Structure 1
Amino acid sequence: MKYKCVVVDLDQTLLHKDKSLSDLTAAAFAQLETEIVVATGRAIVRTQRYAELIHARSMICTNGSIVYHQGQVIYRQELDSQKLTDLIEVLRKIEPVHITLFYPTEVYTTNEYFVKKGESLRLDLDHFNPHEIQRIFVVTSNHAAIQSINFSAYGMKAVPLSEDGDIFVITAQHVNKGNALKALCDHLSLNLKEVVAFGDDYNDLEMIQEAGCGVAMANAVPEILAAADQQTLSNDEDGVAVWLQKHRSDFA
C-alpha cells in the first residue's frame, strides 16, 4: 500500500537539539505530494511556524487534545473544569512545585523564569479560568507526591517527560496522539494503513502503534523503539529526511 500521509513529531524527532530545522529536512518535505501533519506536545502558538516550513496543512497539538486542519479545529478534548479546579487545589500543596496551564492560544505559569522571558503569562492560582485548558505541566522533584494522586479519579493521567523526570504532563485520560490521528484520518477519509508516523518519546506511542508504518528515531525511548515497525537515524542526523528520501517510491 502506498502512503498518503506523513505525521511527524517535532522535538527530538524533526528538529535538531537546538530546535532548528535543517535544509535537508525542508527539502525532503518540499518534494512530498502527500498530506503532511505535525503531531506535537506543543500548543499551536509554538507549532505553526514549523508546520509552515514543512507545508503541513494539519496540526495535532498538546499531545492530541486538539487537532487543526487548514486552520480549523476538527477535534478537541479538554479537561473537565470542575475536576481540574479540584486537582489544582491538590497540586498546589506539593512542595516544591511549579504549575503551568495550557489553553489553546495562551500559557499561564507560576514559574517566574518563563514569565520574565515573556514565554508565558503569570498564573494566579486563586483566580484563573478553568475552561478550555488542554493540559497541565507540573514541575516538582517530589515524585512521591505526584505518585500518591489518583489522577484517574479526576478523569486525567500524568506522564513524565523523558528528557526531564521532574516534569509531569497531565491531560484528559483518553487524550493521546493516536486517538487524534484517528480523528484526523476520519476527517480526511484516510486509511490509517496509509499513514507513516515518526516519533521518539512516550507521548508518541499510540500514534506509532496506530499508523500503518511507525518509525522510531535512533534516539527514541525503548518503548518507542520496541513498538515501531522501522527505525531511522537520530534527529540530529536528519533521520526523518533520510527515511523519506530512501522510501520516496513508497508514496502515492
Structure 2
Amino acid sequence: MIKLIASDMDGTLLNDKIEVSAKNAAAIRQAQAAGIEFIVATGRNLPQAQVELLAHDLHPAYITINGALVYDEAETITVQVPLTNAKLQALFDVLDASGLYYELEAADGVISNAKAGRIANLMAMYRGQDATMSVATARQKAEARTQQIKTTYVADYREVFTDPALEAYKVIVFSDDEQAGLAPVKARVEALGGLVVTSSGARNIEINDLKAQKGPALAAYAQKRGYTMDEVMAIGDNLNDESMIRQAKYSVAMGNAIPLIKELAWHTTLTNREDGVAKAIQRAIALNQAESQGERNDLLH
C-alpha cells in the first residue's frame, strides 16, 4: 500500500503559470480521502511554499529548503539542519570570487544583497515557465512576489552572519549561462566538503548542508509516521529531487523531468503543464485499490 505521497513543487506540482492547478488540488484531496498522506517536498522555504497550496485551502506537511527544515501539518518543526557560520563564510569566499549573484534562504524568507539581482532572477523564472510572458508582466509579477514573500536586503552577507544565532539554510546561485556557467563554482563548492550541491532549474545551483536533502528528510518523516519507504511515492523533475527519487519505492518522474530523474524513476507521468501530479496520485489510488482486491500486477508496470 502507498501511504505517503511526496511531491516537489516547481516543475512538478506547479504548472507553467506557477500555480497548483484545480486538477492537482482535487487529486490531493482524493488521496487524503483515500487514506494517503500528502507532503510537499520543495527547495522553497515554508512561506514561499504555502502560497500556492493555501490558495486551495490545502494544509499538508512540508519538507522545505531541500530538507533543511521539515514541518508537520501543524507547522511544528521536526527536522532542522542550518548551514553553520563557518560553512557560510567559506561559501562567501568562493561565491564572491565567482562574480555570480546569489541569495540565502532563511526559515521565513529570502536574504539578498542586490534587489536588481533578485528581481532579474524572479523575472527569468516566470518567463522560463511561460515563454509568452512579456518582460513588463514578468517584472510586475516579480515585484509582487518580493512583497508577498519576505525579502530582506543587506549590504554585506559577511557582516550579517557574524552573529552565530542567525541561521541560513540554503544558498542559491544563479547564472544566465545556465549550468555551463555554474559548473566551475559548483566544483569549488563541492571541494569545500560537508555540502551538497543540487539544482531546481537550468539557471541555478542550490547549496545545503550535506545532511539537508529531500530523500533523508522524507525517510525520517515517513519513519516518524510509521511508514517504510516501500510505502512512499515521490514525484519530482530535477536534481534536488534525486535523493527522494532514489529512496522511494514508487518514484515518479514528471514528463518534463531531466533525463537522470526519468532514468532513476519507477514510472514517468505527464508534464507539469498536463497535471502530471494528479495523474500520478490517481495511479497511487488505483494501486491501493487493486492491492486491496488482490489484483495489482498490471498497474505496477
Q: Out of 80, 88, 95, which is 2:92 matched to?
A: 88
The percent of aligned pairs where both chains have the same amino acid is 28
Question: Comparing 195-204 with 138-147, which one deviates more in the overlay?
Answer: 138-147
Larger radius of gyration: 2
Q: Out of 170, 177, 180, which is 1:135 matched to?
A: 170
Q: Distance in 2 between matches of 1:209 and 1:49?
A: 28
Alignment of 1:226 with 2:263, yes or no, is yes
Check 1:192–1:219 CA distance in 2 against 1; reply closer, same or farther (3 A cut). same
Alignment of 1:124 with 2:159, yes or no, is no
Partner of 1:102: 105
Amino acid at match of 1:121: T
Instruction: Report the RMSD for the aligned CA atoms in angstroms.
Output: 2.2
Q: Distance in 2 between matches of 1:21 and 1:173?
A: 30
Q: Distance in 2 between matches of 1:154 and 1:16?
A: 35
> Which aligned segments of 4 or more residues in structure 1 are displaced greater than 6 angstroms?
none
Superposition deviation, residue 145 in structure 1: 4.6
Alignment of 1:156 with 2:195, yes or no, is yes
Equivalent pairs, count: 248
Amino acid at match of 2:159: H
Which residues in structure 2 correspond to 1:1-252 (within 5 Å)?
A: 2-33=1-32, 34-52=36-54, 53=56, 55-69=58-72, 70-95=74-99, 97-113=100-116, 114=118, 117=143, 118=146, 120-125=151-156, 126-129=158-161, 131-140=166-175, 143=182, 145-147=184-186, 149-164=188-203, 167-251=204-288
Cα deviations across residues 169-199 of structure 1 (Å, max 9, x unaligned)? 1111232100100110122111111111111
Superposition deviation, residue 249 in structure 1: 2.9
TM-score with structure 2 setting the length:
0.75
Cα deviations across residues 74-96 of structure 1 (Å, max 9, x unaligned)? 0111111122113213321222x
Q: Distance in 2 between matches of 1:247 and 1:184?
A: 19
Check 1:190–1:127 CA distance in 2 against 1; reply closer, same or farther (3 A cut). same
More strand by share: 1
Answer whether contact 1:98 1:109 (CA < 8 A) is retained. no
TM-score with structure 1 setting the length:
0.89
Specify every segment of 5 or more residues in structure 2 that has no aligned partner in the other structure, as ranges: 120-141, 290-301
Superposition deviation, residue 54 in structure 1: 7.1
More helix by share: 2
Answer whether contact 1:216 1:228 (CA < 8 A) is retained. yes
Answer whether contact 2:215 2:245 (CA < 8 A) is retained. yes
Specify every segment of 5 or more residues in structure 1 that has no aligned partner in the other structure, as ranges: none
Check 1:211–1:236 CA distance in 2 against 1; reply closer, same or farther (3 A cut). same
Check 1:41–1:189 CA distance in 2 against 1; reply closer, same or farther (3 A cut). same
